[in-house]
Amino acid sequence: MMSGGTLTSILTIALLIALNLLLLSLLIGLFRAWLGPSVADRFSAILLMGTGGVAMLFILAILLQVSALYDVALVLALLAVVGTVALTQSESNHD
Amino acid sequence: MIELLWSIFDITLVLLLLALAWNTCSTRDVMRAVTLFIAMGLLLAIIWARLKAPDLALAEAVIGAGISGALLLSAIRDYPSTAMVSQRSTLIEGIINILTLALTILMSWAVWHGLNMSDGVRLSEQVISQLPVSGVSNPVTAVLLNFRAYDTLLELAVVLTAVLTVLTLNEKRAGYKVSSPLLQGMTRWLVPLLVVTSGYLLWVGAHAPGGAFQAGAMLAAAMILLQLAYPSRRQEFNNYLLKILLVIGIFTFVLVGLWMMSLNDDFLGFTPAWAGSLILIIETAATVSIATALTLAYLGGRPKGWEAGNHTDSKIAENGGAE
Amino acid sequence: MIDTLAILAIFSGLFFFFSGSIGLLRLPDLFSRLHALAKADNVGLALVALGVIMLEPDPLNDIKIAVIWLLVMAASAISSHLVARHALREIRDD
């Protein structure tokens, strides 16, 4: 295990590459959200940002050595769920 | 190499943000705009995290993405799901575009100027030097709840005013979609988890990112989730309690401020020995108020019997209860 | 040594994220896309979480990471269920 929180530069480079690839994968997914013919395809953007965002935050927490980012990941996951529920459940009476 | 990789990451994030923002504003499909808005909020949270600002990331995720998204959805609730915004006249669109462009140029100039200024006294150094007196060890909380506590008090007042506006305009609207049993099953553990996380954010705000606004918004998210998962359950609000909860944040804040004024001749000038506990008390009250305010705003208006001022109508209590 | 394992875990996780996104883009139907999203991304997240746990020095944070992972799994399963249900409603109402 690393001590005290310094990263070797090889590790840093590897993590950074991973981060960029993750962002790329998110972009590819968001493209569908942009195209998506149906409304539900757009919702998948939220799901994608939820899972992908949490992964990115994990890697950022290691890279930047900010452990508060785990809390942010927790909150992000929770709010992505609430957002999805609100999106799919909120419609009015006369529907 | 490391710098290059960071730059690629940052530039991609910025471009993505711009693309999302542009699409949110320019699309005319209402539902799509709200979805993109929520996605943009989540992206902003990640960007704040990248900039090593976890407090902002927390606030953006909870308030920007979660609550604002839910509020927008509550606002467009009457539109059919394929609603389109009507076309504005091209003249007005042109004016808006020019004004936005001017604002963008102004802000870009300001940022660039700020980056190239000579080093003066940095605010962050001053805050950190005063940190021991503030009663907490998280500089953000110290600024929000001690050094600039008056601003936070005014923020609470703004939230209250906004909610009062909502309450005067409308009555609480019933009726959301029938929810799935899977959703209800999830709510059973998700709502307690949200409440506990809210309490955690409140408590940890003294020494790590967190605080009253994040905790309050999270609590509101829990209540909104409850409302969405059990829509047909007739709700009996104790309106008297709700009114108390709405104002208890500001009330506690002002009370503490006046007490400090009587002791130290300075409104909201906390005695350093008590500052930590006072901040916690104020934050707890503020959390409850913010949560109540945001939930009421989402629900859309006054619950039944609000004007009567006290407990809910007894007729409703008769008809209410389980479905 | 542990660093190498962690990097391996994270990159395999990325592979799953990529397959999820490409599936999202290329699969023909909304429902199959939801499959790609919910399942592949979650396995990806599990592997990334594993890698990060190996790199993280504070054991308390490791517990946090594991809890977050479990939460995201359960939540994304139900979220995709809700989205699918919503889509089914829309199709039926047309």
| CA-based nearest residue to A42, from C37, B45, B64 | C37
The letter for the amino acid at B193 is: L
B→C contacts (Cβ < 8 Å), by residue, are 81, 180, 182-183, 186, 190, 193
Q: Domain for residue B172, yes or no? A: yes
Tell me the chain B residues in contact with residue C85 when contact means C-beta distances shorter than 8 Å.
180
How much is the pLDDT for B183? Answer: 83
Cα A40 from Cα C88, distance rounded (Å):
10
Please report the ipTM that was assigned to this predicted complex: 0.88
Which chain A residue has its CA at the smallest distance from C3's CA? A11
| CA-based nearest residue to A61, from B13, B57, C5, B40 | B57
Does B173 sit within 8 Å of A90, measured CB to CB?
A: no
| Phi and psi at residue B173, to the nearest 5° | -95, 135
User: Does residue B82 register a pLDDT over 60?
Assistant: yes
More confident residue, A95 or B96: B96
Question: Which of A11-25, B111-125, B269-283, B285-299 bottoms out in mean pLDDT, i.e. has the lowest?
Answer: B111-125
Contact present, B153 and B257 (Cβ < 8 Å): yes
Q: What is the mean pLDDT of residues C43-69?
A: 90
Cα A56 from Cα B239, distance rounded (Å):
43
How much is the pLDDT for B78? Answer: 73
How much is the pLDDT for B309? Answer: 53
Q: Which of A39, A42, A69, A82 to mutate to test binding with chain B, by most B CBs within 10 Å of its CB?
A: A82
Cα B161 from Cα B210, distance rounded (Å):
24
Tell me the chain A residues in contact with residue C43 when contact means C-beta distances shorter than 8 Å.
none
Structure tokens of B303? 């619950």
Tell me the chain C residues in contact with residue A61 when contact means C-beta distances shorter than 8 Å.
52, 56, 61
Q: What is the pLDDT of residues C64-93, one digit of tens each?
A: 899 999 999 988 888 888 888 888 877 776
How much is the pLDDT for B322? Answer: 40
Tell me the chain C residues in contact with residue B204 when contact means C-beta distances shorter than 8 Å.
none
| Confidence grade of residue B319 (pLDDT, cut at 50, 70, 90) | very low
Q: What is the mean pLDDT of residues B263-288?
A: 85
How much is the pLDDT for B30? Answer: 82
In a 10 Å sphere around its CB, with 0-12 CB exposed, 13-18 middle and 19+ buried, how is residue A12 labelled? middle
Cα B126 from Cα A43, distance rounded (Å):
45
Q: What is the length of chain B?
A: 323
Asked if the C-beta of C85 comes within 8 angstroms of chain B's C-beta atoms, the answer is yes
More confident residue, B299 or A73: A73
Q: Provide the angle, in degrees to the nearest 10, between the axes of the packed helices A9-35 and B2-26.
A: 20
Q: Provide the angle, in degrees to the nearest 10, between the axes of the packed helices B212-229 and B275-299.
A: 30
How much is the pLDDT for B139? Answer: 85
Max distance between CA atoms of chain C, in angstroms, equals: 58
How much is the pLDDT for B1? Answer: 81
Please list the ranges in chain A whose pLDDT falls under 70: 1-6, 90-95
Chain A neighbours, 3+ Cβ pairs < 8 A: B, C
How many structural domains does chain B have?
1
Does C82 sit within 8 Å of B180, measured CB to CB?
A: yes
Out of B81, B182, B193, whose CB is closest to C78? B182
What does each C-alpha distance from C63 to B4, C1, C56, C57 come to in angstroms?
33, 22, 11, 12
Q: What is the pLDDT of residues B173-224, one digit of tens each?
A: 765 666 778 888 888 889 999 999 999 999 988 888 888 899 999 999 999 8
In a 10 Å sphere around its CB, with 0-12 CB exposed, 13-18 middle and 19+ buried, how is residue B236 labelled? middle
β partners of residue B29: B84
Contact present, C56 and C65 (Cβ < 8 Å): yes
Q: Is the dihedral of CA B77, B79, B83, B87 positive or negative?
A: negative
What does each C-alpha distance from B98 to B15, B27, B86, B102 come to in angstroms?
21, 19, 21, 6
Give residue limits of the domains in chain A. 9-88
Q: Which domain holds residue B293?
A: 130-323
How much is the pLDDT for B321? Answer: 41
Contact present, B54 and A67 (Cβ < 8 Å): no
Question: How does the average pLDDT of chain C come out, rounded?
Answer: 87
